[in-house]
Chain A
């Protein structure tokens, strides 16, 4: 799973840093536990302003998860998307 976190001015102001910190923390903690789908890999990338806030106001922070754009992303929303994918093998089988 590839997550791109925008760290432009608007997104940094609205807490992009805390989203990155939460994802890094997940990588160090829950994603190291048993039960995680062995093929699951979390790739966190930071990006310069993705331009979303220039098209539409009040959308920061912006996070892109495997190509899907999240406006007004919250850390709990993104963390939950990650964990749903990471523990996919348990939920579906």
Chain B
């Protein structure tokens, strides 16, 4: 979460709450245009240069939240165009998951070296003297860089005694760990889907709020209101996300008040991931495989698959906590629908995979769930609850925080073989993950258990979170300690036949 981007975060969340309300109140989607006036009332602009553009952008956001594709200005017709295709109670969205809202993109320069008005037009003008391309002239206004000649070496910037020269690029592209952001013919950002791993970093970093993913809240709510039996599975990072006074038990009850049959911690599946990965590590490293990478972060997994095919086999074969937990639900309730609620958007993509799509029917984020609470006017903090949640072990709950997965697997390996000394390395942030995998490819990470997380701080730093990672970290730690199961092997919610042999 980009903490100081208040307006962008709030616009995004207001859209989720609006779509959730429309779905619950069964409003006619043809009237979606009215919603743009409700969200952006009056005639004064608050966010952009004029109110018309504000409404146009929020209109595209509403459409993305319904699962539709983002349109360009050339394609922008009636807001309700194509809406009948998404007015259903099953998953409809198709990739791309992350796209640029072209009418919101300000086409920031890819990389620019620029003279600001700090320039004193000094006599020494070292900027001009060091320029290897003779691109700088001193004019009446001060130093001027001929952008056609400039090779962005940055020497003038270093030499200026007044710090008058700055170098900047696109925040979206700078945040992308896999260089998936290019330019279109108007210089606006464009995402290369063959490279994108849907980590959501660019969504958080764009200062114009011009990048968004698609949502499935509308179809989820339609599934609930049409009477389908929907079960929610909620990622370990949920603790503390829904109000500083809301307990985990109240979150579960709040979700039930939304019309969802029951809730299970994804920590239960995390316990199965721990048990399987520990077993796998003991059996394969270093005899069969030189190292093992964890498998729970889908963006990390996808990044390795796309960029490092030759070492892709060393990523654990164990399923992700989401998959194990959804299997657990579907086994007990074969006709039910499962919604995964998490901090993550790449799970929306994982859920489309052949081996997952029949188990996970919908994926929404914590922000989207918050929108549902607001739409239904549910105050989780005011619900009276009995008892405690007991779905997952201490270390299963720890998956939420960077380093938690490796810690869980390491502790479990120690239980299996107390003499084995496991070295772990935890990597946070997609760009960092790429760096480490380059080294791994060269054999420099042999013998290690590598935990890869596309988000800084791990899942609590995900793009779909509501509160800052620092606050979430404390809440997760407290809840983790409350678990009655010290080891994932003690978790008696897991069917004995599902335990790895």
- Provide the A1-29 mask, 1 if CB < 8 A to any CB of B, else 0: 00000011110111111101100000000
Task: Tell which of B6, B17, B244, B382 touches A20, judged by Cβ atoms closer than 8 Å.
Answer: B244
Structural contact, A7 and B245, CB atoms closer than 8 A: yes
Q: How far is the CB of B58 from chain A (nearest CB, A)?
A: 14
Interface residue total, chain B, C-beta cutoff 8 A: 28
CB of B378 closer than 8 Å to a CB of A? yes
- Of A9, A14, A16, A46, the most chain B CB neighbours within 10 A belong to A9
- In the assembled complex, the Cα of A16 lies from the Cα of B243 at a distance in Å of 8
Chain A residues in 8 Å Cβ range of B377 = 9, 54
For residue B42, give the distance in angstroms from its CB to the closest CB of chain A.
12
B466 touches A9 (CB 8 A): no
Question: How far does the Cβ of B20 sit from chain A's closest Cβ, in whole Å?
Answer: 11
A7 CB contacts on chain B under 8 angstroms? 243-246, 381
Within 8 A of B (CB), among A46-74: 46-49, 54, 74
- B468 contacts A by Cβ under 8 Å: yes
Q: Are A46 and B244 in contact (CB under 8 A)?
A: yes
A14 to B4, CA, bound (A): 12
Q: How far is the CA of A8 from the CA of B242 in the complex (A)?
A: 9
Binds A, one of B317-325, B367-375, B434-442, B454-462: B367-375
Q: Which residues of chain B from 229 to 255 have any CB-CB distance to chain A below 8 Å in the complex?
A: 242-246
Inter-chain CA distance A13–B244, complex, in Å, is: 11
Partner of A15, one of B6, B245, B379, B470: B6
In the complex, per-residue mask of B377-394: 1 if CB is within 8 Å of any chain A CB, else 0: 111111000000000000
Instruction: Decide: A13 and B380 in contact? CB cutoff 8 A.
Output: no
Pair A9/B373 contact, Cβ less than 8 Å? yes
The reply to whether A17 and B471 form a contact with Cβ atoms under 8 Å apart is yes
CB of A48 within 8 A of CB of B379, answer yes
Check B9 against A21 for contact (C-beta < 8 Å).
no
Report the minimal beta-carbon distance from B238 to chain A, rounded to whole angstroms.
13
Nearest CB of B to A84, in Å: 21
Give the distance to chain A from B435, nearest Cβ to Cβ, in Å: 30
Cross-chain contact B370 with A13 (CB below 8 angstroms): yes
Contacting B6 at CB < 8 Å: which of A10, A48, A49, A74? Answer: A74
> Once bound together, how far apart are the Cα atoms of A16 and B470, in whole Å?
15
For A, the interface residue count at a CB cutoff of 8 angstroms equals 20
Q: Is the CB of A48 within 8 A of B381?
A: yes
CB-CB under 8 A from B378, the residues of chain A are: 9
Contact of A18 among B6, B245, B374 (CB under 8 A): B6
| Contact call B243/A12, Cβ cutoff below 8 A | yes
- A18-B3, A49-B382, A74-B6 known; A13 vs B371 contact (CB < 8 Å): yes
CA distance A54 to B468 in the complex (A): 26
Interface residue B467 (Cβ < 8 Å from any Cβ of A): yes
A80 to B414, CA, bound (A): 53
Pair A18/B468 contact, Cβ less than 8 Å: yes
Which residue of B is nearest A5, CB measured?
B244
* Residue interface bits A70-91, CB-to-B below 8 A is 1, else 0: 0000110000000000000000
Given A15-B6, A49-B379, A10-B374 contact (CB < 8 Å):
yes
Once the chains are docked, how many angstroms separate the CA of A75 from the CA of B5? Answer: 12
B251-274 interface code vs A (CB 8 A; 1 in, 0 out): 000000000000000000000000
Bits for B348-382, please: 1 = Cβ < 8 Å to A, else 0.
00000000000000000001001101100111111
B244 touches A17 (CB 8 A): yes
Q: Can you name 18 extra interface pairs (CB under 8 A) apart from A7-B243, A13-B13?
A: A8-B243, A8-B379, A9-B242, A9-B374, A9-B378, A9-B379, A12-B242, A12-B243, A12-B467, A13-B10, A14-B13, A15-B10, A17-B471, A18-B6, A21-B471, A48-B379, A74-B6, A75-B6
Interface residues of chain B, those whose CB is within 8 Å of chain A, are: 3-4, 6, 9-10, 13, 17, 242-246, 367, 370-371, 373-374, 377-382, 466-468, 470-471
Q: What are 18 contact pairs spanning A and B, CB under 8 A?
A: A7-B381, A8-B243, A8-B379, A9-B242, A9-B370, A9-B378, A9-B379, A10-B374, A13-B13, A13-B370, A15-B6, A18-B468, A21-B3, A21-B470, A48-B379, A49-B379, A49-B382, A75-B6
Closest 8 CB pairs of A and B: A17-B467, A12-B243, A7-B244, A9-B373, A7-B243, A13-B370, A48-B381, A46-B244
Binding site for B on A (CB under 8 A): 7-10, 12-18, 20-21, 46-49, 54, 74-75
